[in-house]
Amino acid sequence: MNIIRKFNNKIELDKVGVFTICKVYKFNNHKRYQNYYYYYYFNDKKIYKVEDINFPKLGDYSVNKFYVLKHLKNNPEICKIFIDQEVTDTPRILSNGFKIDIKK
């Protein structure tokens, strides 16, 4: 993706993006980048993404946790995870398509 398109997507995301919740399922820490792998639901479809975020102090702690995500309604593949905004509110998580296993 070229630089101009990335910039335009960021502007559009800032203006008209909608918020939802995503779940981080994997984290890889490399010397020059930290990849957070996550998924979220849009129109009952599970969308998988990976994002390089320079936030290494969270790292493995983020796995199996929920975070705020902003995406474009007309193109949900364009999104941004807010890795510093963990969501722990169970009703909010459930209302965004996730199922939570309750351990007995």
pLDDT 10s digits, 10-59: 888 888 899 999 999 999 888 778 899 999 999 989 999 999 887 767 77
Q: Tell me how far apart the alpha carbons of residues 45 and 48 are, in angstroms, rounded to a whole number.
A: 10
pLDDT computed for residue 6 by the predictor: 73
pLDDT computed for residue 43 by the predictor: 92
Q: Tell me how far apart the alpha carbons of residues 91 and 101 are, in angstroms, rounded to a whole number.
A: 13
Domain boundaries, the chain: 3-94
pLDDT computed for residue 40 by the predictor: 97
For the cut 60, the answer to whether the pLDDT of residue 104 exceeds it is no
Q: Average pLDDT, whole number, for the chain?
A: 87
Beta-carbon neighbour count of residue 70 at 10 Å? Answer: 17
